[in-house]
Amino acid sequence: MSKLHHSRIPAYLDVTQSVTGLLLALFIVAHIIFEASILLGPGAMEKMTLFFEGYYLFGERHPIIITILGIIISALFLVHAALAIRKIPSTWHQYRTFRKHMKRFRHDDTTLWMVQVVTGFAMFYLGSVHIYMMMANPSKIGPYLSAQRVVEGWMWPLYLALLFCVVLHAFIGLYRLALKWGWFEGSNYRQSRRIMKRIMRAAILIYIVIGLASLGTYVSIGLDAGQKRIEKAQQ
């Protein structure tokens, strides 16, 4: 018998990276939509917060649910990041070689991968801050408290950068994931790829618009509340 020595670990790592990426991307897709409930008014966002705190299930608020959710997301985030790091250029030589190739080649999908690397790297910082804050202060989520955090806590620059990073990373990731495993290939896989790319671009645009509108609304509410407090203090 021939000497078989290959480990099954590369298969596990590949699948785990894809599964964690898929779950995180789906979480982002839902998260931004839930967050956008603020566009329907503070009341809608308040109801959304109560829902996630289990109010409609238990009859009282349990912000700990948000903390548990945060721990799960953090775990997925860490595993995904640790596995994705295997693929990114780890030395200056590798980075320079890839960058040279990318610039010379001017190939859309190769460049998209670099966008994923850069946005993924940025999320190490931006995402960690956001997740930690949510886990540590789960009861401070709501239309007014969130708005206060965005404006007075100076979180809006972080959320603005995070929005672009997370949307680009998630949708490029979903597009590449589908191609990586051959999902939705259909009878004409080239045509399917073109369609998926169009969907990816449209989704990025839509989600950035929705995210910006939501963030703008929080900023507006936060500024308004701040102004009212100033006026009250002056009276």
Interaction site with other proteins (CB under 8 A) = 1-8, 10-15, 86-87, 89, 94, 97-98, 101-107, 109-110, 113, 176, 179-182, 185, 189, 193
Using CA atoms, how far apart are residues 150 and 90, in angstroms rounded to an integer? 35
Sign of CA pseudo-dihedral 34, 38, 44, 50? positive
* Nearer of residues 59 and 182 to other proteins, judged by Cβ: 182
What residue has token string 């640790």? 82
| Count of helices and strands (H, E) across the chain | 9, 0
Q: Supply the minimum distance, in Å, between the C-beta of residue 28 and other proteins.
A: 20
Can you give the length of the chain in residues? Answer: 235
CB of 80 to other proteins, least distance (A): 15
Separation of CA 60 from chain center? 29
Q: From the CB of 31, what's the least distance to other proteins, in Å?
A: 25
Residue nearer to other proteins on the CB measure, 58 or 105:
105
Nearest distance, CB of residue 148 and other proteins, angstroms: 42
Closest to other proteins by CB, 16 vs 74, is 16
Nearer Cβ to other proteins (109/224): 109
Strand runs (DSSP E) across the chain, as ranges? Answer: none
When the beta carbons of 201 and 228 are compared against other proteins, the nearer one is: 201
For 197-214, b/e burial (b = at least 16 CB within 10 A) is beebeebbeebbebbeeb
Rounded CA separation 224/230 (Å): 10
Task: Compute the least distance from the CB of residue 58 to other proteins, in Å.
Answer: 38
